[in-house]
Amino acid sequence: MFKHKSTEFIHPDEKIAIIKYACEGNEQIHTHDFIELEYIYEGCGSQQINDSSYTVERGDLLFFNFQDSHSIEPSLKLGIINVIFNPEFFGMELVNSDNALDILALTAFKDFDLSVEKTLPKVRFTGKELIEVEAVLDYMKNEFDLKQPGYMTSLESYAKVLLVKIFRATRLTDQHNVYDDIRKIAPGILKFIEDNYNRKLSLTELAKQSFYNPSYFSKVFKECYGKSVIKYINDKRIESAIFLVKNTSDTIESICYQVGFNDKKQFFKLFKASTGMTPESYRILTTKNPTNV
């Protein structure tokens, strides 16, 4: 796979480049060692980003992190404006290549609760926002081409305005997707937990049932059910344990393992938090009180 280097496009004294061009043929899959914002100002087509395919048209802006692989296939001639930069453009350094957007959001844009996990590779602008984004990009291209005194300060300011608009759109899109996905996650996952709560369940295994990554699955589950998936499973285990303590003669230790706990200390703690007493005390109380049997 071909890898573009920042030295091909970015002057070391500028740390940013703005490129406007028409893409009329396929661009083969490639990666790069810089951050890229790609805006579609005309035409339509598709792009492959890592393992996902996206249709693109005017108003779409795509974010490519370090090492992201992507390719372009125009249906009609695609008009593209690329803003490519190194993190040093904003006076920042990377800890690793995965945290570029985290650094931008957390150091330059502290108002946004964003992370790479939450951020989609494509956002869409329409109406007034589209016009404003295209105006910002035109200003940036003009400043970059003319290089008048103070142009780097101007570019940094415009770039921050552009990133704010992206983060706002990402935040709205993320919230929209969460509520859409709540409807998708609800039907099958409770049945799966019901059938498997008494064995070890990993977040990764549960997430696979809904085809989401684990961190996003956790977020959607909590939005849907008002508690974390771990608490939901433990509540289910304690509910089952209470039934077994009341209605069987199985030992407390046996019940602990039957309902899926490997840690007796955790089991006793959660049982007492739920009932206000230890399993042994609860058994004695419910045995002596026939109405509870």
**Domain architecture of the chain: domains with CATH:** 2-177 (2.60.120.280), 231-292 (1.10.10.60)
Burial 190-219 (b: 16+ CB within 10 A, else e): eeebeeebbeebebeebbeebebebebbbb
Q: Chain-centre distance of CA 244, in angstroms?
A: 40
Q: Residue 38 has what pLDDT?
A: 94
Q: Quote the pLDDT of residue 90.
A: 67
| DSSP secondary structure, 168-231, as one string | HHHHHHHHHHHHHHHHHHHHHHHHHHHHHTTS---HHHHHHHHTS-HHHHHHHHHHHHSS-HHH
Task: Pick left, alpha or beta for residue 48 (phi over 0 → left; psi -120 to 50 → alpha; otherwise beta).
Answer: beta
Mean pLDDT calculated for residue range 197-211: 83
Cα–Cα distance for residue pair 89/100, rounded to 1 Å: 12
CB 275 within 8 A of CB 284: no
Do the Cβ atoms of 39 and 60 come closer than 8 Å? yes
Residue 237 in this model has a pLDDT that exceeds 60: yes
Look at residue 91 in the predicted model and tell me its pLDDT: 62
**pLDDT at residue 258, as a whole number:** 95
Q: What is the pLDDT of residue 104?
A: 52
Are residues 59 and 40 in contact, defined by beta-carbon separation less than 8 angstroms? yes
Average pLDDT over residues 4-28: 90
The pLDDT of residue 108 is above 50: no
Average pLDDT over residues 196-216: 81
172 pLDDT tier (thresholds 50, 70, 90): low
Residue 149 scores a pLDDT above 90: yes
Out of 35-44, 198-207, 262-271, which region has the weakest mean confidence (pLDDT)? 198-207
